[in-house]
């Protein structure tokens, strides 16, 4: 809490010296993400969510967990162009990192969930991801006495092992997967040496060229949708959710935090390097051909968005009672 | 080192008061496993091995790592009857834990490798596991500048990224995956309250019934082969390696350390509970029908073999340079 107060105070000072046009768009990562009133975070709930996140018994095969694609050793993504899932079937889109997803107000590339709680049950049921029914996942968890006891302790009620509580526990854990204290955050907090001169030049360009129009706020995303056609893409994006013609090829703005860890890029993972990704965004989003020096400066700035990775005390999962 | 000296001194005292017939067969986990002269452990080598262990770029799909089946959250195994691998193809055998494998003198269920170094390259190439060629793995690693630099620092030489060095690094990391300080070890070190009276009774039975004839030494395995036909097994075991008729249905004695974490049991994972496993072993290995009280006592003793899990500071893998 003190840390948050200090950060807020530093931010106020920092914003006071910034160009006013962008002042409202720049924000360091708050110490805590927004926490919904009906899913408060407790240590027990976070621990339960962590266990479920790593537990392959949420999948139809008992082999794939959330952590399979949101792999902690690779920035909580899989570094594949498009995700592999059940039986190595390939999904249609690139796995987004879940680092700092708690600061984004809309989930999935096409925004078909608003909250982490709504999001959590999707991949469990997807044919090309974990391929499990919610009933099957509940049944698997109920065979594990330690889980039944934990759900009771955390949620209470007559039948605490249910899909809604599974989602709440996983979402509570995801709210701990945040990466504070990047060079960018330290810079905004007042340490003008935290970004190198080259990165500061990149940050200036990031604002003056207009990247910040969509990549703003604590997660450097507006949680909005934009029409970005990327190489090789045939994906209709948000249209698949809304069936609204005007949503064709619209995708949610991804966070830029830790972007150097989460190649390949875009909804179809068609681009391998940050240099190429910045070049594409210049053309597609800014209608500008960025020069090589501009691209270089923007890329070094983006590398200043890598924060401190969350430490994970790996759980030891309880075994199924037969 | 001091810890080792103290443990050794305590062991000498403990053995002095034990029945002499079994004295040579009982041994707490040494503080360090045997380390081969040509693969000394350095901090850099262990760190490199850890990164490779978690890196799916060793697989043909770029999706499966050693840690996929030897999963840290489940006692470094997968809790499946038989392993899933590439495209979810199912292998013929149960995934053995690699916890304390460093104390065993023969690797795989059929003993087709003697050392961890020999073992490490097997699953990378197996069709039903990681399905990669050694050349392909080397090529993937060479695309990662940080890996190339680390291999150079650790191994030196003109072309340090090669299969032999990959195996050495992974084996060095595996030698850190050990679980000291179980109740059994503390009991052998002189703390007579470390095993409960029920567990001590189980330990007595473990010796008097003869389990200890094969399950002995620091990892509670003789690193030998025995003819154990388990429910549903059609696997010829060691015969597949030697083509010697006398090796039919022979399998390596598995470690019993952390056995409560590594269900299901036996080479085909056909048995889900320790109670049933002990019952089967009574019939198959001891030619004895164990009574329910005997089975119960042996099972509580086996739970005293669970040690302290290794802490894993999970790596953040460098990305491939395109």
A–B interface: beta-carbon pairs under 8 A: 81
Mean pLDDT by 10 residues, chain B (322 residues): 47 46 82 97 98 98 98 96 96 97 97 97 97 98 97 97 98 98 97 98 97 97 93 94 96 97 96 97 96 98 98 92 81
Place of tokens 């907090």: A189
> Which residue is it, tokens 């097994």?
B233
- Segment (H or E) for B7: helix B2-16
pLDDT at A24: 76
Looking at the complex, report in whole angstroms how far the Cα of residue A20 sits from the nearest Cα belonging to chain B.
Answer: 37
Residue A261 at interface with chain B, using a CB cutoff of 8 Å:
yes
Q: How far apart are CA A286 and CA A309, in angstroms?
A: 31
Q: How many residues does chain B have?
A: 322
- Cα dist from B301 to A54, A134, A175, B203, whole Å: 29, 37, 40, 6
* Contact yes or no for A222/A257 (Cβ under 8 A): no
Virtual torsion, Cα A90, A92, A96, A101, nearest 10 deg: -120
Q: What is the DSSP letter of B107?
A: B
pLDDT at A14 > cutoff 90: no
Q: Looking at residues A44-56, what average pLDDT do you find?
A: 98
The residue annotated as part of the active site, out of A129, A174, A276, A294, is A129
Instruction: Share the mean pLDDT of chain A.
Output: 93
Q: In the prediction, which pLDDT does B298 show?
A: 98
In 3D, which of A97, A61, A73 has the Cα closest to residue B58? Answer: A73
Cβ atoms A194, A206 nearer than 8 A: no
pLDDT score recorded for residue A62 = 97
> Which residues have a Cβ under 8 Å from the Cβ of A314 and sit 6 or more positions away?
A54, B72, B73, B309, B312, B314
According to DSSP, the residues that pair with A77 across neighbouring strands are: A71
Find, in chain A, the residue whose alpha carbon is nearest to that of B60.
Answer: A88
Indicate whether A2 pLDDT > 50. no
Q: What per-residue confidence (pLDDT) applies to A233? A: 86
Write the Ramachandran bin of A179: left for phi over 0, alpha for psi from -120 to 50, otherwise beta: beta
CA distance B57 to chain A (A): 10
Q: What is the pLDDT of residue B14?
A: 45
ipTM, 2 dp: 0.91
Query: Which residue does chain A place closest to B273, by CA atoms?
Result: A322
pLDDT of A1 above 90: no
Looking at chain A from residue 183 to 242, which residues have their Cβ under 8 Å from any Cβ of chain B? none
CA distances from A272 to A74, A166, A268, B272 (A): 15, 35, 11, 45
What is the rounded CA–CA span in Å between residue A21 and residue B22? 81
Q: Is the omega angle on the peptide bond into residue B264 within 30 degrees of 0, that is, cis?
A: yes
Selected residues 65-84 of chain B with any CB under 8 Å from a CB in chain A:
68, 71-75, 78-80, 84
Residue with tokens 């989003």: A285
Q: How confident is the model at residue A322 (pLDDT cuts 50, 70, 90)?
A: confident
Residues A19-28: tens digit of each pLDDT: 545 667 999 9
Question: Comparing A2 with A226, which gets the higher pLDDT?
Answer: A226
- Higher-scoring residue by pLDDT: B77, A8: B77
pLDDT tops 90 at residue A35: yes
Q: Sort out which chain B residues have CB atoms less than 8 A from A71's CB and list them.
A: 56
> What is the value of pTM for the model shown?
0.92
Q: Is B206 helix (H, G, I), strand (E, B) or coil?
A: helix
pLDDT over 60 (residue A234):
yes
**Which of residues 22 through 51 in chain A touch B, CB cutoff 8 A?**
51
């Amino acid at each position: 809490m003190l840390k948050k107060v200090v950060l807020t105070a530093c931010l106020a000072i920092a914003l006071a010296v910034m160009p006013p046009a962008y002042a409202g768009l720049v924000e360091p990562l708050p110490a805590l993400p927004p926490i919904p009133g009906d899913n408060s975070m407790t240590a027990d709930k976070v621990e339960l969510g962590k266990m479920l996140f790593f537990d392959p018994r949420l999948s139809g095969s008992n082999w794939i967990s959330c952590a399979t694609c949101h792999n902690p050793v690779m920035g909580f993504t899989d570094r594949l162009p498009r995700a592999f899932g059940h039986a190595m079937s390939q999904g249609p889109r690139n796995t987004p990192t879940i680092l700092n997803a708690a600061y984004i107000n809309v989930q999935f590339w096409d925004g078909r969930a608003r909250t982490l709680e709504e999001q959590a049950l999707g991949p469990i049921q997807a044919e090309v991801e974990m391929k499990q029914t919610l009933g099957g996942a509940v049944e698997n968890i109920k065979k594990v006495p330690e889980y039944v006891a934990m759900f009771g302790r955390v949620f209470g009620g007559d039948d605490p092992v249910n899909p809604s509580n599974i989602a709440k526990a996983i979402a509570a854990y995801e709210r701990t997967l945040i990466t504070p204290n990047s060079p960018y955050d330290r810079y905004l907090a007042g340490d003008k040496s935290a970004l190198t001169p080259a990165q500061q030049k990149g940050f200036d360009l990031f604002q003056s060229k207009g990247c910040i129009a969509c990549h703003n706020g604590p997660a450097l995303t507006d949680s909005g949708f934009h029409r970005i056609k990327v190489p090789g893409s045939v994906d209709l994006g948000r249209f698949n959710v809304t069936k609204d013609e005007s949503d064709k090829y619209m995708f949610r703005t991804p966070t830029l935090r830790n972007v150097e860890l989460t190649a390949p890029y875009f909804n179809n993972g068609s681009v391998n390097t940050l240099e190429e990704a910045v070049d594409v965004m210049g053309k597609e989003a800014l209608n500008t051909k960025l020069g090589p020096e501009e691209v270089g400066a923007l890329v070094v700035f983006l590398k200043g968005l890598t924060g401190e990775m969350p430490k994970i005390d790996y759980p030891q999962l309880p075994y199924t009672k037969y």
